[in-house]
Amino acid sequence: MSTLIRGGTVVNHDLSQRADVLIDGGRIVAVGEKLEAPAGAEIVDAGGCYVMPGGIDPHTHMELMFMGKVSADDFEWGTKAGLSGGTTMIVDFCIPAPGESMLAAYQAWRHKAEKACADYSFHMAVTQWSPQIHDEMETVVKTYGINTFKHFMAYKGALMVNDDELYNSFRRCAQLGALPLVHAENGDVVARMQADLLARGVTGPEGHSYSRPPEVEGEAANRAIMIADMAGCPLYIVHVSCEQTHDAIRRAKQAGQRVFGEPLVQYLVLDDSEYQNKDWDYAAGRVMSPPFRNKKHQDSLWAGLQSGTLSVVATDHCSFTIEQKRNGVGDFTKIPNGTGGLEDRLPVLWNAGVNTGRLTKEEFVAATSTNIARILNMYPKKGAVRVGSDADLVIWDPKATKTITAKKQVSRIEYNVFEGYTCTGVPRTVFSRGRIAWHEGDMRAKPGDGEFVRREPNAPVNVANAIWKGLTQPKPVARPDIVP
Ligand code: URP
Ligand code: ZN
Ligand code: ZN
Ligand code: ZN
């Protein structure tokens, strides 16, 4: 059955225009003024609204076993939370358990994601280095359709990898046409600072923030950028929270390196005073890595989105209940790291970005959908309102308002880091591959509606980078033979 979205203004990353959108077979088949409705087509009114590509959140952790707890939102509730906020696709992280192969981790994640209500894809984590990992990476790329590998430079003794492991894996990414991702924090320094703080009696959630200053992040970001350059691959830095990391990315870009930065919506509007809250549960609910920063860093991140030195706004949605967070009472290093945000990302970014004039609505679309679709090599299947693209769409009402509260959220946890924040600009109707998945609070998507999205290697940036690195690589100097 076809659907005609009528009377709205289509917003893409490069252009906004008054246009109707015709959908058939899950795809967009026409975009234009005053389109004819085919016989039997469902008509959806978008008068006074924007019609935008559905949000893509490239950084989520559903049902993840992490720091001894399993994150509370699974693929069903996580994707439902996303849909209710205009996000039609998530990219989650397959993280092999210690000693587990990447291939087994992939199968485990595919199984967990069977109940997804919206489309999804995966990144694969590299948590150690061995000939087996080297070989498995090829299968992950060529057979499983995953072109991104995540590296944790933090979480010493658990997920953290060292510089030699980074270099080996980045080299392999360059060979395979894949993109490495890094969680940039110096895990050795964090571990030392945590021990010092605990010894001095700083045991509450504020210790989390003190043990991970911006320098810890900026140093690791710089290091990863330099290693990526030496290994000959592009780089994507997840959850960029501070000026130090933004500065490293800015300098690398100006020097001709392909480096992408992903701030989180939490970092743009919430600051480190949250960790000083007298209510332990409140402060622990905001514990994530890297932690929230002060206004100077927030301004830097906004400027990065405006100038294009930062590319994508994500959430790192990794929700833990209060009971799970209380694992760290008396020792902040045991508070499971992670916050929610999936259903709030678009409304909060619109309110804090577009309504204040920091972002145009086209830049909003770029930061929430198009840029990541291009970086992850799935554009224009995803990330565009364009003929041939998947009909993952949001009808966005820029005048409607919503006050965020945990009582009404879809996410399964009892609190919300944006509690009480009022947004003007919210989704009215959300389409997932042509079907209405959510409409004004009515969740229509069902478990299993979501599909896995394969992503091929050798994105344009990888290809260009490989050519340049080939031309500029060290070569032997031709010399006449020396006859001894
Ligand atoms: O605190 C966070 N960010 N938790 C999720 C795991 C990660 O580091 O991305
Ligand atoms: Zn299964
Ligand atoms: Zn991380
Ligand atoms: Zn994460």
Ligand 1 neighbour 349 (Cβ under 6 A): no
- CA atoms of 217 and 264, how far apart (whole Å): 15
Calculate the CA 183 to chain-centre distance. Answer: 12
CA of 476 to the centre of ligand 4 (A): 42
The answer to whether residues 370 and 379 touch, using CB atoms and an 8 Å cutoff, is yes
* Tokens linked to 371: 């840029």
Rounded Cα–Cα distance for residues 125 and 146 (Å): 11
Q: Whose CA is nearest to atom 5 of ligand 1?
A: 338
Ligand 1 pocket check for 459: Cβ under 6 Å? no
Find out whether 344 and 57 touch, Cβ atoms under 8 Å: no
61 lines ligand 1 (CB under 6 A): yes
**For 5, what's the count of Cα atoms within 13 Å in the CB-facing half-sphere?**
34
- Ligand 1 close to Cβ of residue 337 (< 6 A): yes
> Which residues of the chain register pLDDT less than 70?
none
**Is the CB of 264 within 6 Å of ligand 1?**
no
Nearest-atom index, ligand 1, CA of 318: 5
Amino acid sitting at position 286:
R
Q: Which atom of ligand 1 is nearest to the CA of 287?
A: 1
What is the C-alpha to C-alpha distance for residues 170 and 292, in angstroms, rounded to an integer?
28
Q: How many CB atoms lie within 10 A of CB 104?
A: 14
Rounded Cα gap, residues 28 and 390, in angstroms: 6
Please give the pLDDT value at position 1.
Answer: 82
Q: How far apart are CA 473 and CA 232, in angstroms?
A: 9
3-state secondary structure labels for all residues of the chain: CCEEEECCEEECCCCEEECEEEEECCEEEEEECCCCCCCCCEEEECCCCEEEECEEEEEECCCCEECCEECCCCHHHHHHHHHHCCEEEEEEEECCCCCCCHHHHHHHHHHHHHHCCCEEEEEEECCCCCHHHHHHHHHHHHCCCCCEEEEECCCCCCCECCHHHHHHHHHHHHHHCCEEEEECCCHHHHHHHHHHHHHCCCCCCHHHHHCCCHHHHHHHHHHHHHHHHHHCCCEEEEEECCHHHHHHHHHHHHCCCCEEEEEEHHHHHCEHHHHHCCCHHHHHCCCCCCCCECHHHHHHHHHHHHHCCCCCCECCECCCCHHHHHHHCCCHHHCCCCECCCCCHHHHHHHHHHCCCCCCHHHHHHHHHHHHHHHCCCCCCCCCCCCCCECCEEEEEEEEEEECCHHHCCCCCCCCCCCCCEEEEEEEEEEECCEEEEECCEECCCCCCCCECCCCCCCHHHHHHHHHHHHHCCCCCCCCCCCC
Which listed ligand is nearest to 66 at the C-alpha?
A: 1
Tokens 């899950």, residue?
A: 26
Q: 65 with 97: CB under 8 angstroms?
A: yes
Please identify, by atom number, the ligand 1 atom nearest to the C-alpha of residue 183: 8
- pLDDT tens column, 43-67: 999 999 999 999 999 999 999 999 9
Strands 87-94, 119-125: pairing is: parallel
CB of residue 92 inside a 6 A radius of ligand 1: no
pLDDT value of position 441: 97
Q: Whose CA is nearest to atom 7 of ligand 1?
A: 289
Q: Which atom of ligand 1 is nearest to the CA of 154?
A: 8
Residues 267-300 as b or e (16 or more Cβ within 10 Å = b)? bbbbbbebbebeebebbbbbbbbbbbbeeebbeb
Q: Is the peptide bond before 380 cis (omega within 30 degrees of 0)?
A: yes
**Is 338 close to ligand 1, i.e. is its CB under 6 Å away?**
yes
Residue type, 457: P
Extract the tokens encoding 316.
Answer: 């790192």
Cβ–Cβ contacts within 10 Å for residue 171, how many? 17
Structure tokens at 290: 């890297």
Distance separating alpha carbons of residues 336 and 131, to the nearest angstrom: 32
Q: Report which of 54, 57, 53 is spatially closest to residue 16, judged by C-alpha positions.
A: 53
Q: What is the ipTM of this complex?
A: 0.97
Residue 289 Cβ < 6 Å to ligand 1: yes
Q: Tell me, yes or no, if the pTM score tops 0.90.
A: yes
Q: What is the pLDDT of residue 111?
A: 98
The identity of residue 394, as a single letter, is V
CATH number of 54-387+452-465: 3.20.20.140
C-alpha separations of 89 from 69, 73, 85, 304, 483 in Å: 25, 15, 11, 24, 66
pLDDT digits (tens, 9 = 90+) for 118-159: 999 999 999 999 999 999 999 999 999 999 999 999 999 999
Comparing C-alpha atoms, which of 222, 74, 235, 98 is closest to residue 155?
Answer: 98
Cα–Cα distance between 208 and 339 in angstroms, integer? 14
Per domain, the residue ranges of the chain are 54-387+452-465
Which residue's alpha carbon is nearest to atom 1 within ligand 1?
288
Locate the ligand 1 atom nearest the alpha carbon of residue 288 and give its number: 1
